[in-house]
Amino acid sequence: MSVPPRPVLVAAARDSIAKGSKSFAMASRLFDRETRERAWLLYAWCRACDDLADGQEHGHALSVVADPAARLAEIHERTEAALAGQPSGLAAFDGLGVVVAECGIPHHLPRDLIAGFALDADGFSPRDEGELLQYCYHVAGAVGCMMAVVMGVDPRDEAVLDRACDLGLAFQLANIARDLDEDDAGGRCYLPADWLAEMDVPPGETMRPPYRASIAVLARRLADRAAAYEESARHGTPALSFRSAWAVLAAAGIYGDIARTVAARGRRAWDSRVVTSKGEKLGWVAKAAGQAARRKRSWHGDAPRTGLWTRPRGRPEADPFIPRG
């Protein structure tokens, strides 16, 4: 068995993103060809891991899996093979090996994402906001860091990677707010326990009708947090090329609208799934072009991140969710 040729892996990754995320597919078109292909390869691995962990098909129909430990072991085994430059047996994982080798992505970043899947396999639910944000780092912030390296950021540039992580946090907070009802049906709750206690919402009854108004308050809180991390992430775009900044700013606007819509709908936010229309996406593509052109005078990388949570920066001993020896 050998790793398939790169064009075969890229084609498979392109098909994966077309099925799994119309928002990311649209934003990825703004990259130059090399960056776009690498982004597809990274996305395809993330999507394959997520589908294996959650028993999904391209991110749809979350289900309770009967063998979470076995699925996690498969993700770990195939990922480690890819990181070692060996064939994994699946195109999505082989593609990870290609993009890691081409871009010099630190190996701890894909491993950090796998730690997020392990948290879900263990039935994780955060006790407080700090644990929520730590979880968001593992399942999305680490991906933001990897995407930054794909876009040419030096993996040693911790300040820019912090901004990239912030965008991942913003995306995940928006997703959590949007998917509260779906997650509840799947037996998951990502609202911090102390937030629920504050609103007198009993554990396990999060989305019952009597508590919808209280949950809407917490969803707005998630949206507010997402907006703060989105704004911080924008300060990292001067470090990117114009086309990469354009793609990032378009994605930030598209995902930001998800959180803003959830907040605006209040207790009716989960009557139907919040989506952004094609027209709205195209609107952000146009708006982001202007933002990217002005980014070097509009945002500054040294703007303070006052009050924002900061990732562990690759130090396992600083990460409470990384198992010890």
Domains of the chain: 1-123 (no CATH), 125-310 (1.10.600.10)
Residue with tokens 């680490």: 142
pLDDT in tens, 99-135: 999 999 999 999 999 999 999 999 999 999 999 999 9
pLDDT at position 302: 77
- H-assigned helices in the chain: 6-20, 22-28, 33-54, 68-83, 91-103, 108-121, 129-136, 142-150, 158-178, 180-185, 193-198, 212-234, 242-265, 278-298
Give CA–CA dist 177/215, Å, rounded.
10
pLDDT at position 183: 93
Low-confidence stretches of the chain (pLDDT beneath 70) = 56-65, 314-318, 322-325
5 DSSP 8-state letter: P
- Up-side HSE of residue 73: CA atoms within 13 Å toward CB? 4
Query: In the numeric block, which tokens belong to residue 300?
Result: 């500054």
pLDDT at position 300: 75
Residue 228: count of CB within 10 angstroms of its CB: 18
pLDDT at position 269: 96
Query: In the numeric block, which tokens belong to residue 52?
Result: 């294996």
